[in-house]
Amino acid sequence: MVDSPAVTKKFQKEMNAGIASLVLLSVLEKSSEPMYGYQIAKLLEEYSSDASFMKQGALYPVLHSLESSGLLESKVEPSVSGPPRRYYEITADGRETLVTWQGVWKQMKSFVDRAIKGG
């Protein structure tokens, strides 16, 4: 038999790669004010209840990449306790892109669901 946990882990990682961008963009679109990494991670922890889909550390490089594509913007602000924090905010481009991505996600979801159910 194949090493199932390792295969599942790999599958999870590959799935996360695309989904993380959609999730982060959605979270920041819903938020009325800029959020920093730990805040976002906390919120996602609530959404995912018990299961942890991805390590929190993996969110940060995705945030950087969304920022360099111009979908997010960020600023660093000092914090009362500890190192300065980077606050992220969605841009107008980001909002537009999110609408498209949500459409893609809906189609994907129904496609995958149908494939799993078989018809």
Partner 1 sequence: MIRSIDEYLELLKIELKDNDAATIQDALADAEEHLRAALANLHEQQPALPEAEALNQVIEQYGSPDETASAYREVERRTSPGMRREIPAQQESGFQRFFGIYNDPKAWGALLYMLISLVTGIFYFTWVVTGLSLSLSLAIFIFGLLFAVFFMVSLRGLALLEGRIVEGLLGVRMPRRSVFFQKDTTWFERLKTNLVDKHTWLSLVYFFLQMPLGVIYFSLIVTLFSLSIALMAAPLVQTIFDFPILSIGVMRYYVPSWSTPLFLLVGFLIWTLAMHLGRWIGQVHGKYAKMLLVTE
Find the part of the chain contacting partner 1 (CB under 8 A) among 22-30, 31-39, 90-98, 100-108: 31-39
Q: How many CB atoms lie within 10 A of CB 95?
A: 13
40: Cβ contacts below 8 Å, ≥ 6 apart: 24, 27, 28, 59, 63, 88
Cα 11 vs. chain centroid, distance in angstroms?
17
Residue 25 lies near partner 1 (rule: CB under 8 A):
no
Residue 61 lies near partner 1 (rule: CB under 8 A):
yes
Residue 5 lies near partner 1 (rule: CB under 8 A):
no
Residue 91 lies near partner 1 (rule: CB under 8 A):
no
Find the part of the chain contacting partner 1 (CB under 8 A) among 24-32, 68-76, 90-98, 100-108: 68-76
Alpha-carbon distances, residue 70 vs 18, 89, 103 (angstroms): 17, 11, 20
Which residues lie near partner 1 (CB under 8 A)?
Answer: 17, 36-38, 41-42, 45, 52, 55-58, 60-62, 64-65, 67-69, 76, 79, 81-86
